[in-house]
Structures are given as C-alpha cells and as structure tokens.
Amino acid sequence: MTGLDFDPSLLYQARKFITAANVHYVYTCILCYESSAAHSETRQRYERLLREFVGLQKRLIAARSNAELVRSRSNRARTASASLKIEKLRNARSCMK
C-alpha cells in the first residue's frame, strides 16, 4: 500500500459481514480508516480494528459450522441408539416366546 491507498480486500470483507447490529460500528471504522492519512497511527488503529472484526466474524462462522456438524452427528447417533434399543427389546421379546 502506498500513498493514500488502502486495502480493498479488507474493506470488501468488512462490508460483507455488516449486519443491522453492527452497521454503524463497521461504517465508522471504514470511514475513519479511509479518511486518515496513510501510515498514520489512526490509519493503523482502524486497519487493526477492521482486521480484528473480519477475523472474529470468520471464526464465528467456523464455530457455527462446527456446532451444526456436532449437532447433526449427535442427532444421528441418538437416532441410531434408539433404533438399537428398539431392536434389542424386540429380540428380547422374541426370545421370551
């Protein structure tokens, strides 16, 4: 990055994660990042905040995805366990006859 340039990829990613709950925070950070002087402390501070925000959003997506995977596997295991219990009861009843 040189002169007044800023990281367009960072801005794109930050905008991608905007929600109704964080719109003012993210747009404020973007505005302060874009309007600050290149290589200034202010630019560096807001760039860091935006990178932390993007990183957090990516980690949240990964955590939600992992939670959904665990939930799905748990449901399949519970269903399989219930099926095994039913089969065991049927076998036990047929042996009693």
pLDDT in tens, 77-97: 888 887 777 777 777 777 776
pTM surpassing 0.85? no
Spatial neighbors of 2 by CB under 8 A, at least 6 apart, are 38
Can you read off the two tokens belonging to residue 47? 């760039």
Q: Is the pLDDT of residue 66 over 50?
A: yes
Give the start-to-end residue ranges of the domains of the chain. Answer: 8-96
- SS3 state of residue 24: helix
Which run of H or E residues covers position 22? none
Q: What distance in Å separates the CA atoms of residue 91 and residue 80, rounded to the nearest whole number?
A: 16
When pLDDT is cut at 50, 70 and 90, the band that residue 4 belongs to is low
